[in-house]
Amino acid sequence: MAVMKPIASLDIPTGEEWLYEIKYDGFRCVMHWDKDSIRLTSKNGKNLTESFPEIVEFCSEHESTVANFLPLILDGELVVLNTDYQANFALVQQRGRLKDSTRIKQAAEERPASFLAFDIIGLHGTSIEKEPLLKRKETLATVFQQIGKGKTLSFVPGHSNPKQLWDILFDHKGEGLIAKRKNSTYQVGKSHRDWYKIKNWRKLHGFLTTYDSQNNYFTVGIYQGDDVTEIGKCAHGLRETVFATLKELFLTNGEKRGAFYHLPPAICAQIHSLDLYKNELREPAFASLLPHEQPSTMTRKRLKLDMAMLPETIELTNTDKTFWPKPGYTKGDLLTYVREISPYMLPFLKERALTIIRSPDGVEKDFFYQKHLPEYAPNFIERIPAGDNEFLLTCEGLDSLMWYANHGTVEYHIPFQKRASEYPTEIVFDLDPPDRNSFPLAIEAASLLKELLDQLNLISFVKTSGNKGLQIYIPLPEQSMSYEQTALFTQAMAWTIEKAQPKSFTTERMKKNRGGRLYIDYVQHGKDKTIIAPYSTRKTPEATVATPLFWNEVKDGLSPEQFTIHNVPGRVKKLGCPFSDYQLAKQKQQTESILTLIT
C-alpha cells in the first residue's frame, strides 16, 4: 500500500503548528484490521502477515476491545525494540527474511516484534485521510485506550518539545525524529511539505582508498593496527564540484584495476551513517572532507568511540590508557561500554545516592571509594546537600554517567531506597560463595530461592554480582514495606534455605566459620547499605559486569566470567534486557504473601 513518506531534513522545523514523534528503525507497515482478519503490508506492498505471527495473535485476542472501530487501517512501524526509544533493525530484518514457519515462531518467542502505530487512516471501513493529523491522532489515542498499554501493539504519541524529545532520542541512540504539521492531511508519497525526518547520525571518521567508476562509490577504510580495513562505501553528500574534484583525483593518480582506482590512505573524511553492521554503512553520506586530519588517526579505536556517540559535554582524556591489563581493555573500551549500556543502567541509578569506586589508572593500580561530589564536578550533575558543604553523588542522566566513567569510575553501588524515601524499593538477596570455583553453589541456592518465591507468587529477577555470586531481586511497590518488615522476610527466607541444606549454605557472618559454604547475606539488605548496580562494571581482572540474567540461564555451566564489557552490550541487543519489565513488576507485585508470612 502506498504511504505518506517524510522528507529528509537536517534541521528540525519549529513552531506551534508542529508536533514531533520518535522515528523507529524497522519496517514501515500498514495494518488492515477487520473482523477475524489481520493483514500487515509493507510500504512496498509486500505481505508481512505470516512473518509476524505474534502481532496477528495479539490483535485476534484483543479484537473485542476494538470491535466498534472495525474495519481499521493503521500506519506504523514493525520493530524489535531494544528500549522504548531504540529499535533493533538487524533483528527485524532477519525476521523479514525467514521463510520457515517453525523458525519464525521461534524468533517471535525469543525476541517478539512490536507494531508501533503513529497514524490511523481508516475507521469503520471509511477513509479518514482528509482529516487533519491532530484529529487522527486523537482518534488513534481513543482506539488505544480500549486496547490498553502493551508492547506488542503500541501507540506512538506526539510531543510538543523537540529539544526534549531529541535529548531522549540521543540518550537511547534512536534513529531520529519526525516533525509533522498538526493540520496535515494524509498524502501519499512526498508531494507535500508536512512531514520531515531528522536522522540521529553517527559521525564516523575514515580515509578513502578506492573509487568505483561503475557506481561512483568510494571505499572508506581505517587502520586496524598496521593493516587497512574497509568499513563501508559512500557516494552521496558532497557538493557536485567537490565530488568532481575527488573523482578526478582518483582517476588521475589512482592505480587502475578494472573499474576500480586505488590510492594509499591520504584523503580523510567524516561520514554520517545510521549504523555500521558487518562492514556495511547504513545510509551513509559524506559530512565533509578533512584535509587537515592525518590518516594515522583513523583507527579502530577511534571508530568505536565515534559509534558510541559520546555526549559533547564530556572532554575525553587518555582513552588509550589500559584499564584491564589481562584482556587489554582500555579506558576507551570502558567509555564505549558505559555509553552503550546506559539506557539499561541509568534507570537503576536515578534518584539514588551513589557510592562509586574510582581507579583512574586502571583496576590493578590505586583505587578509592567516593560518596560525595568533588568540587570540580560540572554543573550538569545535580547537587543534593549532604551536610557540611558536601553533596551526594547523583546520576540523573547520560552526561553525569559518562563524566563519572571519564574520571575512572569502575563500580557503581546503590542503596535499596531512593534519596527522598525511607522505604526500600526492592528486596535483594546476595548469594555469596567462598570463591569463583564454588559458583555452582550460587546456582543451587538461587534455584531454591526461586522456588520459594514462586510459591509466594512473587515476581523475582536475578543477576550476577559480577564477581563470584548471584543476586536475587524482588521489586516492591512504592512505600509498600518498611525495612523492618523486609528484614524479617529476608531472614526467614535465608534461614529456610540454610535449614534445607546446612552443609552447603550458611547465614554465618564470620568468614572463618563458614567452612566453604555459600553465605546467604540477608543482613546487607538495610537502609543506606548498598549493592552493585545492574550492568555496573567490576574491578576484576577480566572486566566482568554485574549482569542481569533470564531465569532459564541459571543452570549448570553458568559462570560470572562469561559476561564482560566486551560482550554484554551485544548480548542485550540480541536477547533483550532481562530486567526490561522491572518497573512494571514493581507496580504488579503483590506483597500480601510476604506480610502474611512475617506477621
Whole-angstrom distance, CA of residue 511 vs CA of residue 519: 9
**CA quadruple 126, 127, 132, 138: dihedral sign:** positive
For residues 549-570, average pLDDT: 97
Q: What percent of the chain has pLDDT over 70?
A: 100
- At residue 510, the pLDDT reads 93
Whole-angstrom distance, CA of residue 355 vs CA of residue 411: 8
User: How does 78-106 read in b/e, with b if 16+ C-beta sit within 10 Å?
Assistant: bbbbbbebbbbbbbbeebbebeeeeebee
Kindly state the cell numbers that stand for 75: 500506519
Residue 173 has pLDDT above 90, yes or no: yes
Q: In what order do the strands lie in the sheet with 409-415?
A: 368-370, 355-358, 409-415, 530-532
For residues 346-361, average pLDDT: 97
- At residue 199, the pLDDT reads 96
- At residue 590, the pLDDT reads 94
10 Å CB burial of residue 226 (0-12, 13-18, 19+) is exposed
Whole-angstrom distance, CA of residue 493 vs CA of residue 453: 9
- At residue 277, the pLDDT reads 81
Active site residue 23: yes
- At residue 551, the pLDDT reads 98
Cβ contact 212:220 at 8 Å:
no
10 Å CB burial of residue 563 (0-12, 13-18, 19+) is buried
Model pLDDT for residues 61-107, shown as the tens digit of each residue: 999 999 999 999 999 999 999 999 999 999 999 999 999 999 999 99
- At residue 149, the pLDDT reads 84
- Give all domains of the chain, ordered by start, each with its CATH number: 7-199 (3.30.470.30), 202-306 (2.40.50.140), 310-599 (3.90.920.10)
- At residue 388, the pLDDT reads 85
Residue 462, C-beta contacts closer than 8 angstroms, at least 6 positions apart: 446, 450, 470, 471, 472, 473, 548, 549, 551, 554, 578
- At residue 384, the pLDDT reads 94
Residue 414, C-beta contacts closer than 8 angstroms, at least 6 positions apart: 348, 349, 352, 353, 354, 355, 530, 531, 533
- At residue 387, the pLDDT reads 83
Whole-Å CA distances, 119 to 53, 75, 166, 403, 520: 22, 5, 21, 39, 52
- At residue 290, the pLDDT reads 97
In angstroms, the first-to-last Cα distance of the chain is: 62
- At residue 158, the pLDDT reads 97
Cβ contact 551:444 at 8 Å:
no
Q: Measured at the alpha carbon of residue 402, what is the angle toward residues 399 and 403, in degrees to the nearest 5?
A: 85
Residue 1 has pLDDT above 80, yes or no: no
Whole-angstrom distance, CA of residue 432 vs CA of residue 470: 7
Element (H, E) at 420: none
Residue 22 has pLDDT above 90, yes or no: yes
Residue 280 has pLDDT above 90, yes or no: no
Whole-angstrom distance, CA of residue 362 vs CA of residue 384: 29
Check 5, 23, 43, 371 and give the catalytic one.
Answer: 23
Whole-Å CA distances, 266 to 219, 261, 280, 592: 13, 14, 21, 69
Whole-Å CA distances, 372 to 356, 375, 398, 401, 582: 9, 9, 19, 15, 28
Residue 524 has pLDDT above 90, yes or no: no
* Mean pLDDT rounded to a whole number for the chain: 96
For residues 462-473, average pLDDT: 97
- At residue 434, the pLDDT reads 95
For residues 200-212, average pLDDT: 97
Tell me how long the chain is: 599
